[in-house]
């Protein structure tokens, strides 16, 4: 049987609040397999953002285990975690997180700079990713010269430029109008059809429906699962 790319095993997360303990995730277990498109859906306060931080190696569980590509994350050093975030996981955020004084091309090249890739190879790979998301004619534009949808396309190209094992998107349509949001989800669908593994965190049932599997969260727990239209 194929090994999962990501597996959470009875993960809990809590934070101290004075003398009390605020529990945000409770006994969460699931796996994501290579080539899957999974949505994690829940209302505000359901724990999905905390879960996203754990999946992206931006935070660690208080108890339980997170295994990424066969390796328990709690056994990784700080440097190893940084490499995982730069090379294994591509991040797409609601507010794009583009550097305002860098062109679209330079924003997409940035992860390759951190990875030590030579200049000509950085440019070649960044151009290929921008063409893949339909922005070959916008490479010299600054973020403030781009529409919201174009900014998110740049962010997707940047997330893909290191050929990560997983594309992790946190509310990727939250700052976009409905039509543009559908276009962005269409890009995710095309990427999934090419074999990219995708996990989308969302509160929007319409966005979640693009996935193969929809995991439902409520009050820090996984409370259900259903098939999406991508199945």
What domains, with CATH codes, occur in the chain?
6-227 (3.40.50.300)
- CA dist 185 and 227 (Å) reads 17
pLDDT of residue 99: 95
Q: Which residues contact 174 (CB under 8 A, 6 or more apart)?
A: 94, 202, 204
Please answer whether residues 161 and 115 qualify as being in contact, where contact means their C-beta atoms are separated by less than 8 angstroms.
no
Q: With a cut of 70, list the residues of the chain below it in pLDDT.
A: 1, 231
- pLDDT at residue 231, rounded to an integer: 66
b vs e for 6-20, b when ≥16 Cβ sit within 10 Å of the residue's Cβ? bbbeebebbeeeeee
pTM comes to: 0.93
**Structure token pair of residue 176:** 């976009």
Q: Residue 46 CA to chain centroid, in angstroms?
A: 18
Position 37 scores a pLDDT of 97
Give residues with Cβ within 8 angstroms of 64, minimum separation 6. Answer: 8, 9, 10, 11, 12, 27, 28, 29
Q: What pLDDT shows up at residue 24?
A: 95
């Amino acid at each position: 049987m194929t090994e999962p790319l990501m597996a959470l095993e009875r993960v809990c997360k809590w934070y101290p609040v004075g003398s009390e303990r605020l529990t945000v995730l409770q006994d969460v277990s699931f796996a994501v397999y290579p080539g899957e498109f999974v949505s994690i859906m829940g209302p505000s306060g359901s724990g999905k953002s905390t879960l996203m931080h754990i999946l992206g190696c931006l935070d660690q569980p208080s108890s339980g285990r997170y295994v990424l590509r066969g390796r328990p994350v709690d056994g990784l050093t700080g440097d190893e975690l940084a490499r995982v975030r730069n090379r294994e996981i591509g991040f797409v955020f609601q507010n794009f997180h583009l550097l305002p004084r860098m062109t679209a091309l330079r924003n997409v090249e940035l992860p390759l700079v951190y990875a030590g890739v030579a200049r000509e190879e950085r440019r070649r790979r960044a151009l290929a990713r921008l063409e893949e998301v339909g922005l070959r004619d916008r490479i010299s534009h600054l973020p403030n010269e781009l529409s919201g949808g174009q900014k998110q396309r740049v962010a997707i190209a940047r997330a893909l430029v290191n050929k990560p094992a997983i594309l992790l998107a946190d509310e990727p349509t939250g700052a976009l109008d409905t039509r543009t949001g559908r276009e962005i989800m269409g890009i995710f669908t095309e990427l999934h059809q090419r074999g990219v593994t995708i996990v989308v965190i969302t509160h929007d049932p319409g966005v979640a429906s693009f996935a193969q599997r929809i995991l439902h969260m409520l009050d820090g727990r996984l409370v259900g699962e259903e098939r999406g239209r991508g199945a």
